[in-house]
Amino acid sequence: MASACVRGSVGDELGGAPDSSLPAPSTVLTDQSLSDTAGVTTTASTPASAFRWEPLGEPGVGGRVVDLAIDPSDPEHLLIAGDLIGIGWSADGGESWHAATGLQNPEIGRITHHPTRQGEVWAGTMGGPHVSFDGGRTWELRRAGLPTPDPLSYTAPVDRILVDPADPNHLLAFGGSHREWDIAGSAAAFGAVWSSMDAGASWQQISEIADGTNVVDAAWLPDGSLLAAALNGGVWRSADGGTTWAASGQGLSHPGARAFALDRSNPLRVWAALGAYPSPGGEPVPGGVFRSDDGGRSWTEADSGLPRQVGFNGQISHTSRYHAIAVAPSDPNVLLTANQAWGDEGIYRSTDGGNNWVRILGAPGLPTPATAYDTPMSGEALVISPADPKVMLAGNNEFVLRSEDGGSAWADVTSDVTASGAFRGRGYSGLVASRAEFDSDRVVVLCGLDGANPLVSIDGGAEWLRPLDAWDHWGGCIDVARGTTGWWALLGQADIFNGIARFDTPTTTVTASRSVASAPRWTTSVGAAAGLPERGERVRGGMHAIVSIPLPGGGEVVLASVGGSVYRSTDSGSTWTRDPTLAGASDIVVDPAQPTTVYAADDRGVWFSEDAGSTFSMLAGSPADAVRLAVGSDRLYATVWRTGETGLWHGPRRDAEPPLGGWSRLLDEPSAYDVAIDPTDPQRIVLATNDHPYHDLVTSPGLLLSTDQGGTWRQINEGLPVNRVPTVEFHPTRPGEIVVGTFGRGFFSADLSRLAG
């Protein structure tokens, strides 16, 4: 194992401020574009250099796509947005994607191109309005006049931003989340209507819709009237620029409108997509599509051919529901919508203005495009090109599809299918990363939540496979370890245990026509018979780490941190025994110089074992609640995240071992999460900082570099789209190269030798 390894998932808590009685932090040189809000000292900006983070190349998206947008002036310029994963942009119709930067909250709502100012784009986020002046490549926060940001909740969640068709400097922002992100204070700001008369430079609240109900979409009609959809609260209409609102749902089957689409050739025509409505005291009411020809005053059904089914036993998730609708700007007769009902997901097209619909994707007999992930095509985000009504994009929980023939044929524009049957990302990953591990220069294994369970490349990252797909398409991977005869993966997420898997490295077989990826052999340990929790069992304390310890006489010992305990196997995972010593165990690492020496962290401190984990002893003075450990050439490192004595610590690998007399804190940084020590230069340390989502603005400073063993620090974030970074590791065979995993934007790599200064 490498000396600095990520070990698992992010916890759910946010800690308090650091103890003011503790030593002051070391000097940190930070990017001027980042706020000094993470407990670091700002003294200068990072010098310009050729250093830049680039996507590692794993399959995209792997995270929930919530909106898609096409530049009205350039139909090849696309934007993609996700629920935790920020924004990506493409200048070639989706052939390649690039990371947008500058977002201070990557939890995105909807995207709006300014109708008259080319290149100006607005995005609603859970942290407030953001604007881009270069087509979505870089973004700036615009919160002046909104409530003061809160580190523990949302104070100004914005889903949709609209531009007044009569005044390009008049903007409205609507408080809500069409993803129903109703957590951590967000509901307190739902329903708010914020107005700006100075092109978004400042805002003031002018009204509230439906007594503070979540606004999931809004539209500004060409005649000057406004429509807003309140979540299960009906359609509301304003004729005075948003100052007052009145219910306007005559003709709708229920008050569950979720999205609007406008006919740009008819100022009074608008379509509404309705989700399933949780009727009080009865079965849910199915959704559908409705059209208004009088600016939203009244509505008529326009959904012939769309399913209108109630789910099994009245389950709303299995009831027909429509959360997205798109109309072709150049031909208002062409529309798309999608059924979100579990088990009946599919994309539907109308070519007669919504009167009749035909299923074009997601049914037996229809072509099924190859995708890296297996989520059904529910169509949470839909858009049709302004230049050609036959060009369509559809995004769901894990990928984006493109059609160029009106929906008959589709192709994944977030991943390529290679000749060997593997996948290659196009630059926009949405993975919540947890671990990267290497076997020489060839094999790379990535762990992450949801569909990354795990991802394996056998050619240095050019192509990727999902070797455990038959076990679970979507169950998460917390950690992975290289064993003596294969790989070990700790599976699960959100405290739900999914087993411990052992698998061989995949191989390829060359045939007469192409090389074909072969599925690896694998076995999974789970349940009481193996001495482990049951599959699907909630384990208090979560899953954090797995390591393999090679034994001098052959064989291996495997240790795993599950539910706060350390489990040990000596028979290739057939049986496991729980160690009673550690409580609240998190990380486990192996000393690369002495493989039978193991270090583990728990609620009380850092422990060591010299007998491959048979017995553990605590290191005196070590910090409690450490989340990550790393072994340097002459000392041990530990990070404490968000609680207690936060920051980066170092100390002896044995009590009173020279040259260190005890443990001390190198950096008082509350968001310190993972640490990597350069195996070729112990003076060089990279600290990854992470900030949990579900509050206004990201406060972690991203990646910090020290070249003097922790004396001074500088940020190294150039090109990194998000500053939530739970994993960092030096590549074992490429000196100076580091790989990081982000919370929501996948994996990136960079070469420190290209860093100036």
Going by pLDDT thresholds of 50, 70 and 90, the confidence category of residue 34 is very low
- What does 579-602 look like in DSSP terms, one character per residue? ESS-SS---EEE-TTSTT-EEEE-
Rounded mean pLDDT, 505-521: 58
Q: What percent of the chain has pLDDT over 70?
A: 91
Do you find a cis peptide bond into 658, omega within 30 degrees of 0?
no
Q: What is the pLDDT of residues 705-737, one digit of tens each?
A: 999 999 999 999 999 999 999 999 999 888 999
Task: Give strand pairing partners of 638.
Answer: 629, 649
Going by pLDDT thresholds of 50, 70 and 90, the confidence category of residue 8 is very low
Least confident of 451-460, 499-508, 618-627: 499-508
- What does 113-173 look like in DSSP terms, one character per residue? E-SSSTT-EEEEETT--EEESSTTSB-EE--TTSPPP-SSS-S--EEEEEE-TT-TT-EEE
**Which residues have CB under 8 Å from 266's CB, separation 6+?**
293, 332
- How would you write 202-259 as a 3-class SS string? CCEEEEECCCCCCEEEEEECCCCCEEEEECCCEEEEECCCCCCCEECCECCCCCCEEE
Task: Give strand pairing partners of 259.
Answer: 273
Rounded mean pLDDT, 605-615: 95
Q: Measuring CA to CA, how many Å separate 53 from each of 44, 57, 672?
A: 20, 12, 20
> pLDDT at position 30, please?
40
Rounded mean pLDDT, 294-302: 97
pLDDT of residue 438 exceeding 80: yes
pLDDT of residue 547 exceeding 50: yes
Q: How far is CA 108 from the centre of its chain?
A: 11
- Tokens coding 168: 């390009």
Rounded mean pLDDT, 29-56: 53
Residue 304 is classified by DSSP as B
Using alpha carbons, select from 649, 739, 742 the residue that is nearest to residue 88: 742
> pLDDT at position 508, please?
59
Q: What is the pLDDT of residues 356-403, one digit of tens each?
A: 999 999 988 888 899 999 888 888 999 999 999 999 999 998 999 999
The Cα 535–Cα 475 span in angstroms is 11
Q: What percent of the chain has pLDDT over 90?
A: 77
Q: What is the pLDDT of residues 200-245, one digit of tens each?
A: 999 999 999 999 999 999 999 999 999 999 999 999 999 999 999 9
Whether the CB-CB separation of 415 and 422 falls below 8 Å is answered with no
* Residue 48 CB neighbours (<10 A): 9
Going by pLDDT thresholds of 50, 70 and 90, the confidence category of residue 51 is very high
The Cα 430–Cα 46 span in angstroms is 27
The Cα 433–Cα 493 span in angstroms is 11
> pLDDT at position 13, please?
27
> Is residue 317 helix, strand or coil?
helix
Whether the CB-CB separation of 423 and 372 falls below 8 Å is answered with yes
Q: What is the pLDDT of residues 564-594, one digit of tens each?
A: 999 999 999 999 999 999 999 999 999 988 8
Terminal alpha carbon distance of the chain: 31
Q: What is the pLDDT of residues 134-190, one digit of tens each?
A: 999 999 999 999 999 998 899 999 999 999 999 999 999 999 999 987 776 777 789
pLDDT of residue 334 exceeding 70: yes
Identify which has the larger pLDDT, 560 or 653.
560
CATH node for 27-52+420-754 = 2.130.10.10
What average pLDDT does the chain have? 89
Highest mean pLDDT pick, 33-37, 269-273, 282-286, 657-661? 269-273
> pLDDT at position 39, please?
36
The Cα 413–Cα 96 span in angstroms is 8
> pLDDT at position 164, please?
97
> pLDDT at position 657, please?
60
Going by pLDDT thresholds of 50, 70 and 90, the confidence category of residue 7 is very low
- Tokens coding 552: 């001098």
> pLDDT at position 518, please?
61
The model scores a pTM over 0.85: yes
CA pseudo-torsion sign 67, 68, 72, 73: positive
> pLDDT at position 459, please?
87
Using alpha carbons, select from 481, 589, 596 the residue that is nearest to residue 550: 596
> pLDDT at position 374, please?
85
- How would you write 244-299 as a 3-class SS string? CCEECCECCCCCCEEEEEECCCCCCCEEEEECCECCCCCCCECCEEEEECCCCCEC
Q: Measuring CA to CA, how many Å separate 269 from each of 133, 263, 291, 756?
A: 30, 6, 7, 57
Q: What is the pLDDT of residues 392-407, one digit of tens each?
A: 999 998 999 999 999 9
pLDDT of residue 15 exceeding 50: no
**How many Cα atoms occupy the beta-carbon half-sphere of 547 within 13 Å?**
30
H or E element in which residue 112 lies: strand 108-113
| Amino acid making up residue 303 | D
